[in-house]
């Protein structure tokens, strides 16, 4: 039994194995591998893409889904502890997929639960299935993971997706470029980590001149909910807007990724540009999540 | 000329030396000495060539296991132990920062599950020279100056 709480729970070989499985599921998306299995999908806070793509993945695999998408009509609202909730659900289901606003909740749940736990996001901490689907999208569009240049843009301070992607891609000799306003730069611990393992990175505050060498442009939303001072948010919220014009002088193979939801950081006209990949990226989430589910259950 | 001891000698037991003065009471707390029935003497703001000033604790008839004493490295990373038998120092030890710390420090992240549910805090030690901790649960990194010792 293996849980997936943090992207660092998977080593390089396990990441590659999951990505290979995802490709298998893309070729053959309806397989009855979860027949007679019950999967608990418990979302203590709202989600559209993540919950629906996990539940689609379970359904395509022939499993049954139980759960909730809002904890207000559960015993949690009566003051039940997370420990009790998880212990009970682990008695009902073969696998728990959970999202919780409390950071570290998924790790704690994985220690209590007798069935595997997949973390579908714990506050600002981890969202490993997003990282794996990002990597699947990168591999699919670039044909490889090694020796790519990834340009990360926007909120690099609070954005959990960029932190996890950085950690996971560091296995593959990636060169990183960070474009962020001063207030939202990549935290020093991640830069120290890259220094320690000898990977190259550079930091910039201008978008226009810094995307020409990118293989992947990873856009992020400046998240209003992470700011305690709304004036600070207003100052930076529209700082980077990617347009078709900016993409003209970029590499032929470049793809624009975004974990979604998008607000204003990618001009809607970019959606029809062949370099835009974010909607296909979210479809890849289903195949990647099928791969993760079957892998943690030891079915593949 | 005979040197005067600021903290009187003990016949048998442990002397913990080179504690930063401002960490004295944290060391007492971590080792649970406030509840101890052993005879304990301590001094703080004592002169130290290396540290400027330091604190020292002497505990009669009490010896510590390594993993017990290593917990004080969070606040006293350069502490030294003298094991005393019959007024003689029979062994000197330095404390070593452990790889994993349970239940002593508090995670600085108010949104961390370890501060919300009734669970023991756990940290991975990711740097030992200037102690840096990573919360086992929320993965937030805490630098030495931000480490909070649990009451």
Determine, yes or no, domain membership for A3. no
Same domain, A134 and A263: yes
Candidates A6, A7, A85, A104, partner chain B, best to mutate (most B CBs within 10 A)? A104
- Minimal CA–CA distance to A170: which of A143, A142, A192? A192
Residue B2 has pLDDT above 80, yes or no: no
| Whole-number pLDDT of residue A168 | 96
**Token couple for A87:** 């212990």
Which residues on B lie below 8 Å from A107 (Cβ)? 113, 136-137
Same domain, A213 and A230: yes
The residues near A91 (Cβ < 8 Å, ≥ 6 apart) are none
| Whole-number pLDDT of residue A33 | 96
- % of chain B at pLDDT higher than 70: 97
Identify the helix (H) or strand (E) that includes residue A24: helix A12-27
Identify the helix (H) or strand (E) that includes residue B89: strand B88-94
Determine, yes or no, domain membership for A6. no
Same domain, A87 and A207: no
**Closest CA in chain B for residue A188:** B141
Same domain, A246 and A135: yes
Which CATH number is A114's domain given?
3.40.50.1370
| Whole-number pLDDT of residue A236 | 83
Sheet holding A175-179, edge to edge: A201-204, A175-179, A149-153, A216-219, A255-257
Interface touch A104/B113, C-beta < 8 Å: yes
The residue ranges of chain A whose pLDDT is under 50 are none
Go through the domains of chain B in sequence order and give each one's CATH number: 13-94 (3.30.70.140), 100-149 (2.30.30.20)
Same domain, A118 and A135: no
Quote the DSSP letter at residue A187.
Answer: P
pLDDT tens readout for residues B45-78: 998 888 889 999 999 999 999 888 988 988 888 8
Interface touch B113/A6, C-beta < 8 Å: no
pLDDT tens readout for residues B22-48: 999 999 999 999 999 999 999 999 988
Domain count, chain A: 2
Decide which of A126, A155, A184 is a domain's last residue: A126
Instruction: Identify the domain containing residue A175 by its residue range.
Output: 129-282
Measured between CB atoms, which of A6, A108, A122 is closest to B119? Answer: A108
**Closest CA in chain B for residue A110:** B137
| Whole-number pLDDT of residue B5 | 73
| Whole-number pLDDT of residue A40 | 98
Same domain, A151 and A247: yes
∠A199-A201-A203 over CA atoms, to 5°? 165
> Is the Cβ of B111 closer than 8 Å to some Cβ of chain A?
yes
Decide which of A126, A151, A171 is a domain's last residue: A126
> Is the Cβ of B113 closer than 8 Å to some Cβ of chain A?
yes
Same domain, A263 and A232: yes
Interface touch A101/B136, C-beta < 8 Å: no
| Whole-number pLDDT of residue A238 | 84
Which residues on B lie below 8 Å from A117 (Cβ)? none
Same domain, A162 and A108: no
Same domain, A215 and A251: yes
Rounded-to-integer distance, Cα A295 and Cα A293, Å: 5
Q: Which band of pLDDT confidence, cut at 50, 70 and 90, is reported for residue B145?
A: confident
Our CA-based measurement puts residue B128 at a distance from the nearest CA of chain A, in whole angstroms, of 15
Rounded-to-integer distance, Cα A135 and Cα A168, Å: 8
Determine, yes or no, domain membership for A198. yes
Name the one residue in this structure whose structure tokens are 């943090």: A6
Determine, yes or no, domain membership for A298. no
Distance of CA A41 to the CA centre of its chain: 17
Can you count the helices (H) and strands (E) in chain A?
10, 9
Determine, yes or no, domain membership for A202. yes
**Closest CA in chain A for residue B119:** A108
Our CA-based measurement puts residue A135 at a distance from the nearest CA of chain B, in whole angstroms, of 22
- Beta carbons of B28 and B63 less than 8 angstroms apart: no
Measured between CB atoms, which of A6, A104, A123 is closest to B114? Answer: A104
Length in residues, chain B: 151
- Minimal CA–CA distance to A14: which of A290, A291, A299? A291
Same domain, A69 and A212: no
Determine, yes or no, domain membership for A217. yes
Decide which of A95, A126, A157 is a domain's last residue: A126
**DSSP per-residue codes, A78-108:** GT--HHHHHHHHHHH-SEEEEEESSBTHHHH
Our CA-based measurement puts residue B111 at a distance from the nearest CA of chain A, in whole angstroms, of 6
Same domain, A139 and A253: yes
Rounded-to-integer distance, Cα A23 and Cα A199, Å: 28
Same domain, A121 and A135: no
This prediction has a pTM of: 0.88
pLDDT tens readout for residues B100-136: 999 889 999 999 999 999 999 999 998 887 888 999 9
């Amino acid at each position: 039994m293996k849980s997936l709480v943090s992207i660092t729970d998977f080593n390089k070989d396990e990441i590659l194995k999951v990505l290979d499985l995802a490709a298998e599921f893309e070729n053959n998306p309806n397989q009855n591998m979860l027949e007679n299995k019950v999967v608990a999908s418990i979302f203590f806070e709202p989600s559209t893409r993540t919950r629906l793509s996990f539940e689609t993945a379970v359904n395509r695999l022939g499993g049954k889904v139980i759960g909730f998408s809002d904890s207000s009509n559960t015993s949690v609202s009566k003051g039940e502890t997370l420990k009790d909730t998880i212990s009970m659900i682990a008695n009902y289901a073969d696998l728990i997929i959970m999202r919780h606003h409390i950071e570290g909740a998924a790790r704690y749940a994985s220690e209590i639960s007798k069935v595997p736990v997949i973390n579908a996001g714990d506050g600002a901490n981890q969202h490993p299935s997003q990282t794996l689907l990002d990597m699947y999208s990168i591999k699919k569009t670039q044909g490889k993971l090694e020796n790519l240049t990834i340009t990360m843009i926007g909120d690099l301070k609070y954005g959990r997706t960029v932190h996890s992607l950085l950690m996971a891609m560091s296995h593959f000799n990636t060169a990183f470029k960070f474009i962020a306003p001063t207030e939202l730069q990549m935290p020093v611990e991640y830069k120290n980590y890259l220094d320690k393992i000898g990977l190259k990175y550079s930091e910039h505050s201008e978008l226009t001149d810094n995307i020409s060498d990118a293989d992947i442009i990873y856009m992020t939303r400046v998240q209003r909910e992470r700011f305690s001072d709304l004036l600070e948010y207003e100052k930076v919220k529209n700082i980077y807007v990617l347009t078709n014009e900016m993409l003209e002088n970029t590499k032929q193979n470049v793809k624009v990724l975004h974990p979604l939801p998008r607000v204003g950081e990618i001009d809607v006209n970019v959606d029809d540009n062949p370099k835009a990949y974010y909607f296909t990226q979210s479809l890849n989430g289903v195949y990647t999540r099928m791969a993760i589910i079957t892998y943690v259950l030891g079915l593949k | 000329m005979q040197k005067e001891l600021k903290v009187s000698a003990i016949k048998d037991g442990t002397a913990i030396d080179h504690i930063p003065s401002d960490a004295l009471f944290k060391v007492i707390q971590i080792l649970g000495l406030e509840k101890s029935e052993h005879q304990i003497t301590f001094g703080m703001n004592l002169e130290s060539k290396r540290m400027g000033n330091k604190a020292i604790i002497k505990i009669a008839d009490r010896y510590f296991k390594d993993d017990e004493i290593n917990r004080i490295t969070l606040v006293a990373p350069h502490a030294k132990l003298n094991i005393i038998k019959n007024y003689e120092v029979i062994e000197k030890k330095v404390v070593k920062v452990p790889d994993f710390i349970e239940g002593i420090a508090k995670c600085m992240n108010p949104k961390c599950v370890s501060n919300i549910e009734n669970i023991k805090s756990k940290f991975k030690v990711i740097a030992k020279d200037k102690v840096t901790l990573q919360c086992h649960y929320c993965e937030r990194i805490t630098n030495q100056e931000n480490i909070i010792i649990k009451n």
